[in-house]
Structure 1
Amino acid sequence: MSSGTEGFGDFAAACSGPLFRTAWLLTGDWHLAEDLVQETLGKVFRRWGRLDQIEEPIAYARTVLMRTYLSHRRRRSSGEQPAETVPESATYDGDVALRLTLLDGLAELDAKDRAVLVSRYWEDRSVEETAAELDLSPGAVKSRSFRALQRLRAALGDSGVGDMSALHRSA
């Protein structure tokens, strides 16, 4: 590799899994999540030689992923529709029914609200980190979180889910 791209392969291998999990939670679509990760890594690669000033390249990659996801959702040319069912996947040690219920509830939220909840509660980011990733003010993150959690609780009904941490625990 050239000096400008040195270490990118290791970086991409290390962060692809976490980026994919986040992308899959955002989209609910295995293939779209893979596409978003590929697009994200492509964008990061183009700037890789200049990222040495950034303390946490993975945080930069997460920000690129979130913004790529939101950009994709805004595009009218996207003709793909989400699947009715979640594709088959490996078994989980946690409560699978709860996980699927939460994923269905997330799917009912708009893109920005879903991104806020995934960043804040799944990725366990602070309000400030989420605001920076999504180019929002901290107040907007707080109000979106509050309203999105209310809508998610209403969608889930009496399942007894208090917050998104149940999704994290069941993963």
Structure 2
Amino acid sequence: MLDRNDSFREFVAAHQQSLMRTAYLLTGDAHLAEDLLQSVLLKLLGRWPKLSHIDSPEAYARKALLNQHISWRRRRASTELPSSAPPELSYSSENSTVVRLAVRQALMRLSPRQRAVIVLRFYEDRTERETAELLNCSIGTVKSHAHHALARLRDLAPDLAPRFAELNDIQEARR
């Protein structure tokens, strides 16, 4: 028979990679993503006896990641000072590394809620309903955040606007 720690270890082994990917997409930094995931997993371990019996502990973990990330951003925002704008990247080449960096850089300039919506809707391919449930908001709020976030991304990275327009088309087709 599995004890509490064995059950939790199995959960972590099965879901750590996907949770880490979500944490990275939210933070944009591998070290911050590790810290975020570690802090959430520590909280989950303390609640594991109750959580192991729910239908989807992974969904609970994702929601905890989102909430912890938003909480961290609020706390850090009050102590950080803005820096000069990052250097502009050339997107003219189809170098996937440059494009990924440009998209990541633009994502990091969105609000935490907008970034969470974009990550859940377009990187994790969640429905509006699933995204709304994870973020504990209405479907209309998800649609609004997605719309405003895509518009902001087009403004932040005009050379990547066609790629963001594709995401907008995907969002419209899903309605």
* Length-normalised TM-score, structure 1: 0.80
CA distance in 2, matches of 1:81, 1:72: 15
Determine the structure 2 residue equivalent to 1:44.
44
In structure 2, runs of 5+ residues without a counterpart are 88-94, 169-175
**Residue 2 of structure 1, CA deviation:** 6.9
Determine the structure 2 residue equivalent to 1:147.
148
- List structure 1 segments (4+ residues) > 4 angstroms apart after TM superposition: 76-85
Distance 1:59 1:49, change over 3 A: same
Residue identity over aligned pairs, in percent, reads 43
Q: Which letter does structure 2 place at the counterpart of 1:30?
A: A
Higher relative contact order (CA 8 A, sep 6+): 1
User: What's the secondary structure of 1:18's corresponding residue?
Assistant: helix
TM alignment of 1:16-165, pairs within 5 A:
16-76=16-76, 95-159=96-160, 160-161=162-163, 162-163=165-166
User: What's the secondary structure of 1:6's corresponding residue?
Assistant: helix
**Residue 59 of structure 1, CA deviation:** 1.1
In structure 1, runs of 5+ residues without a counterpart are 86-93, 166-171
Q: Which letter does structure 2 place at the counterpart of 1:116?
A: V
Distance 1:54 1:127, change over 3 A: same
Distance 1:25 1:78, change over 3 A: farther
CA distance in 1, matches of 2:37, 2:166: 26
CA RMSD of aligned residues (A): 2.7
CA distance in 2, matches of 1:155, 1:95: 18
Determine the structure 2 residue equivalent to 1:88.
none
**Residue 81 of structure 1, CA deviation:** 8.3
CA distance in 2, matches of 1:125, 1:115: 11
Q: Which letter does structure 2 place at the counterpart of 1:95?
A: S
Considering fraction of residues, name the structure with more helix: 2
